[in-house]
Amino acid sequence: MPYTPPLIEKSEVVPKGPWEYAMNVLAVHAFGDSEEISNEIGFETDGELWFYFAEIISRSPNFPELNYETPQLVQYNEAAVFVKVFVKDKSFAYCPFMYVDNDLSLVRGLLVGFPKKIANIAITKRHPLIQQSKMGANACRAGYRLLKAIVEVEKESSSVPFDKFGPWLLRRYFEPLNIDQQLIFKFEAKYGRIESGKAEIEVVGGLNDKLDAFKPEKVKSGYYYETLLKAKGVETADF
């Protein structure tokens, strides 16, 4: 039986996993107004933010042909906002907004609680034969800009601050189905090259994307890195 509709073999929008994701990520580490953010998302926070734009190659061993027969189905761009939140004296990475440009990724994310929407996302591509330290990315939806970032890398780094936010906390919410669950997204990650430097981030939003609360008051740094993320499923949060 197919994993998701359409219920015809080899036609489902999301084939069965486990999925893995190879990512080139441009990210900005920042701080916003903790009170305003907390009022918007309903969690305690110190205002620490992580914005990222990523070029992603996803793969499932249950349908490997997608990667060489129809690569446009499993290769996509993504942009997201994460907030460091605190629940019962533990910190978590909570995602209030995420955008993708691919329907497979959209539905796959919604199934486990990622708040995904379709958007147009552009990210500077790097090439080993072009010397380039300054890169940018932007995301737009319905004719308005959502996010724009510029990162100028200056040095190699051993880690990214996002790892210190804590486990990824998701809320799977479908009001028509009476589903409202707090979930922890389980995964394994390893890193390739990590570079850091100066950054700037512009948070705009629009009529159907209320991003005002996440506008940074302070930008700490920017990052460009390679990572491989292997999804291990979700579990119900114990709170």
User: Are 80 and 51 within 8 A, CB to CB?
Assistant: yes
pLDDT in tens, 114-156: 999 999 999 999 999 998 999 999 999 999 999 999 999 999 9
Residue 71 lies in a domain: yes
Residue 14 lies in a domain: no
Q: Which range marks the domain in which residue 213 is found?
A: 20-236
Continuous segment of H or E residues that includes residue 107: helix 103-112
Q: How many domains does the chain have?
A: 1
Residue 206 lies in a domain: yes
- The whole-chain average pLDDT of the chain stands at 96
pLDDT in tens, 161-175: 999 999 999 999 999
User: Are 224 and 26 within 8 A, CB to CB?
Assistant: yes
> What pLDDT band is residue 10 in, cutting at 50, 70 and 90?
confident
Residue 13 lies in a domain: no
Beta-sheet strands, E only, within the chain: 20-31, 44-59, 75-87, 90-100, 116-118, 120-123, 134-141, 144-156, 168-174, 179-203, 218-236
Residue 169 lies in a domain: yes
Percent of the chain with pLDDT over 90: 94
pLDDT of 202 higher than 90: yes
> What pLDDT band is residue 2 in, cutting at 50, 70 and 90?
confident
pLDDT in tens, 51-69: 999 999 999 999 999 999 9
Between CA 61 and CA 15 the distance in angstroms is 10
* Beta bridge partners of residue 50, listed in sequence order: 29, 82
Task: Give me the CATH number covering residue 216.
Answer: 2.40.400.10
pLDDT of residue 104: 97
pLDDT of 224 higher than 90: yes
